[in-house]
Amino acid sequence: ALEDHFRLLKSVVNQLQDQITAVSSCVEDTRLHGEEHARFADQIRRRGDADRTALATLATEITNIHHEVTALREAITTLSADLLTTTRDSQEASAWARRELLASRDEVHRMDARIGASLQTADRNLVATAKLLNDQTAAARLEAERARAELAARIDQGAARAREGDAAVFDVVRDRCDSLLGMIEEELAAAAGREKAAFATMEERIAALDDRVRAAFEAQERVRVKAAADIVDAFGDIRDEVAALRRDEDALRADLGQTGEVLRKEIEESKGEVQMEIRRMTRPLIVIILAVSTTRLLCTLSASPNLSYNVDRCASCAGSRNELLGTGTGTVNAIGSMVGDMERGSATTQE
Residue-wise pLDDT tens digits, 292-318? 555 555 555 554 444 443 434 444 444
State the average pLDDT for the chain: 69
Alpha-carbon distance of 281 to 264, in angstroms, equals 25
Per-residue model confidence as pLDDT tens digits over 199-239: 677 677 767 766 776 776 677 677 766 766 776 676 667 66
Range picked from 69-83, 235-249, 331-345 for highest mean pLDDT: 69-83
Nearest residue to 22 (alpha-carbon basis) of 316, 209, 337, 295: 295
Alpha-carbon distance of 308 to 330, in angstroms, equals 30
Alpha-carbon distance of 209 to 111, in angstroms, equals 9
Alpha-carbon distance of 39 to 48, in angstroms, equals 14
Q: What is the mean pLDDT of residues 325-337?
A: 47
Lowest mean pLDDT among 17-31, 109-123, 191-205, 262-276: 262-276
Alpha-carbon distance of 237 to 79, in angstroms, equals 11
Q: What is the mean pLDDT of residues 319-344?
A: 47
Alpha-helix residue ranges (DSSP H) falling in the chain: 2-157, 159-164, 167-282, 284-302, 311-350
DSSP string, 117-149: HHHHHHHHHHHHHHHHHHHHHHHHHHHHHHHHH
Q: What local confidence, expressed as pLDDT, does residue 54 receive?
A: 82
Q: What local confidence, expressed as pLDDT, does residue 331 receive?
A: 46
Whether residue 278 contacts residue 346, with contact meaning beta carbons closer than 8 Å, is answered with yes
Model confidence band, residue 90 (pLDDT cutoffs 50, 70, 90): confident
Long-range interactions of 6-14: CB distance < 8 A, separation 24+: 9/307, 9/310, 12/301, 13/310, 13/313
| pLDDT(63) > 80 | yes
Angle between helices 284-302 and 311-350 (to 10 degrees): 160
State the CB neighbour count (10 A cutoff) for residue 221. Answer: 13
Q: What is the mean pLDDT of residues 146-169?
A: 64
Q: What local confidence, expressed as pLDDT, does residue 329 receive?
A: 47
Q: What local confidence, expressed as pLDDT, does residue 112 receive?
A: 73
Domain boundary assignment for the chain: 2-350
Instruction: State which amino acid sits at residue 92.
Output: E
The pTM score is 0.32
Model confidence band, residue 284 (pLDDT cutoffs 50, 70, 90): low
